[in-house]
Structure 1
C-alpha cells in the first residue's frame, strides 16, 4: 500500500502490495484510489498519466459531476459510473457499516465493479468525492475478489482519515448474513463469473 504524492490530491494511494491469502500480494499500479479531481492541475494530471493509468472511474452522483465536472471529463480514459443512487435526504451512512449502500445500490455497485473488469490494460483509478465511502466499498469488493482477507481489506480502508476498519468488517458480516457471502452478493447483483475472473487477473 503506497501513498501517492500526486499534486493536488489529498487521499491518493495504490492498493498494490495488500496481502492475499496464500502469501501473494495485490499487483502494483493496477488499482489506485483517490479523492475527487476538482483540484487536479497540469502537474497532477501528468503524474496520473505517467503512472500508466488507462481508466478513471468517477463514482460520484451525476448531480455532483454536473455541478463540479472532472478535469478529465473529456479524456477517453474517463467514465462516470455512479456507485449509488443520488440521495433524497434520508440515506445517511450508518456509523457502523455500509449496509444501506450495498442493499440499495446493488446494480450501481455491480456496474462500477464491471467497469473495473472491462477497463483496458493499465492502472484503474477509482474516486468519489472524498475517496472514502463509495470508493472504499468498491475497492473492498475488488480486493475481496483478488483473494484479500477481510482484515487486510479493512486495514487498507482504515488508511483513509476517519475510516474505522469496523465499517468494512461489519459490512462483510451483513453481506454474509443477507446474501450468503461477498461473492454471492456480486453474482446476485449482475456481476458475471467472467467479470470476477477479469478483476482477479488484473489485481494478482
Structure 2
C-alpha cells in the first residue's frame, strides 16, 4: 500500500451548502503525497439533483435552484445512474446549470441502487446487508466496470470539459468508488480518500430510520441493513486494498481495466493538480 503521509486537511471542508443538495462537494484542496493539491472548482461530486415537489413549476425550480448553482460554472455533469433510473427520476442538473450531461452508467437495470437491494430484502432472498456485502458490491464494480471508469477519467482529464460534476443517486456508492479511484490515482493520502468516501454518512445521516416501518414488517432488524444506507470507512479501505492486491493499485487498475495509457493519467494530473508546494 502506498504510504499515506500526514496532513491536517479536513475533508469535511469540501462540502458546499446549496439548497436542494446534501452531499455536494468541491474536491479542490485535497493534498497529494508529492506536495501538490487538487485545484478548486475543477471536480465536484454530489447526489442526483432531482426535481423538487410536483407542485413546483419548472420555472420556479429554475429560478430557485439555478441561482445557487451558476457560480459553479459547470460545463459537464457525469451521471453514473442507469438509464432506467434516469427515466424514473430524471436528473435536473442540466436545468439547474446548463451543463452538458454525459450518461456513463455504472451497472444497468438498477443494480447497486437502494431499490435493487431492497428487492432482495423484500423477496426474502436476503435478510441483511453488512459491510462484507458492500465490499463485495464494490469489488464487483471494479471487476465489471473498468471501461466506464476509464471513460470517466478521460472526461476528467479533458480541460475543455471542466468544471465537471460526478453523481449517481445518493452520491455514495457508485460515485464513492469512482471518486476514490481518482483521488487515489492522483496520490491523495489513502486515509483522506477513505474519509472523503465516509463523509456521505455524515452529510446524509439516519437514512435507515426512514425505512424502519418497512424493515419491521419484513422482520429485518435495522442493524442488519444499516450499512446499506451508510458509508463505513472499512468498506472503502477493503476496496482499495483489493485494488492494490488484484491490480497493483488504482493507477494500475485504470491502465489495465480502464483501458487508459500513461498519457491519460498525466493529462488527469495536469488538469486537476496544482504545482508542487514544497
TM-score, normalised to structure 2, is 0.66
Alignment counterpart, residue 40 of structure 2, candidates 19, 28, 38: 28
Aligned to 1:101: 141
Aligned to 2:104: 81
Larger radius of gyration: 2
Decide whether aligned partners of structure 1 residues 106 and 85 sit closer, same or farther in structure 2, where only a CA change above 3 A counts.
Answer: farther
| Aligned residue runs from structure 1 range 140-151, under 5 A | 140-151=180-191
Decide whether aligned partners of structure 1 residues 7 and 69 sit closer, same or farther in structure 2, where only a CA change above 3 A counts.
Answer: same
**Cα RMSD over matched residues?**
2.4
Larger mean CA deviation between 189-198 and 92-101 belongs to 92-101
Aligned to 1:138: 178
Q: Which sections of structure 1, spanning at least 5 residues, go unmatched?
A: none
Structure ranking higher in helix proportion: 2
Equivalences, count: 204
Q: Answer yes or no: is the 8 Å Cα contact 2:74–2:99 preserved in 1.
A: no
Larger mean CA deviation between 147-156 and 186-195 belongs to 186-195
Q: Deviations over 1:149-174 (max 9, x none)?
A: 21110011111112122222211111
Larger mean CA deviation between 89-98 and 113-122 belongs to 89-98
Structure ranking higher in strand proportion: 1
Decide whether aligned partners of structure 1 residues 77 and 2 sit closer, same or farther in structure 2, where only a CA change above 3 A counts.
Answer: same
Report the Cα distance in structure 2 between the residues aligned to 1:84 and 1:197, rounded to whole angstroms.
28
Residue 30 of structure 2 corresponds to residue 18 of structure 1: yes
Report the Cα distance in structure 2 between the residues aligned to 1:176 and 1:108, rounded to whole angstroms.
20
Q: Answer yes or no: is the 8 Å Cα contact 2:107–2:145 preserved in 1.
A: yes
